[in-house]
Amino acid sequence: MTAPPNDPTKAAGGQAMWGGRFTVKPGEVMQAINVSIGFDKRLAAEDLAGSKAHAAMLKAVGVISADDEAAIQRGLSQIEAEIAEGTFPFREEYEDIHMNVEARLAELIGPTAGRLHTARSRNDQVAVDFRQWVRDACARTAGQLQDLQRALLAQAEAYADTLMPGFTHLQPAQPVTFGHHLMAYVEMFGRDASRFADARARMNESPLGAAALAGSPFPIDRHATARALGFDRPTANSLDSVSARDFALEALAAAAICATHLSRLAEEIVIWMTPQFGFIRLTDAFTTGSSIMPQKKNPDAAELVRAKAGRLLGAFTQLAVVMKGLPLAYSKDMQEDKVPTFEAFDALDLSLAAMTGMVADLTPDTERMAQAAGAGFSTATDLADWLVRRLDFPFRQAHHITGAAVKQAETLGVDLAGLSLDQLQAIEPRITADVYEVLTPAASAASRTSYGGTAPSQVRAQVARWKEQLA
Residue numbers annotated as active site: 169, 290
Spatial contact of 209 and 124, defined as CB atoms under 8 Å apart: yes
Q: Which of 330, 179, 354, 166 is nearest to 259 (CA)?
A: 354
Cβ neighbours for 297, distance < 8 A, ≥ 6 positions apart: 273, 282, 287, 288, 289
The Cα diameter of the chain in Å comes to 104
CA dihedral 272, 276, 282, 287 (to 10 degrees): 110
What does the alpha-carbon distance between residue 439 and residue 254 come to, in Å, rounded to a whole number? 42
Give the Cα-Cα-Cα angle 13, 17, 22 (nearest 5 degrees): 55
Cβ neighbours around 34 below 10 Å, total = 14
- Residue 374: helix, strand or coil by DSSP? coil
CA-CA distance, 63 to 120, in Å (whole number)?
A: 12
Terminal C-alpha separation, the chain: 53
The DSSP 8-state label assigned to residue 235 in this structure reads: -
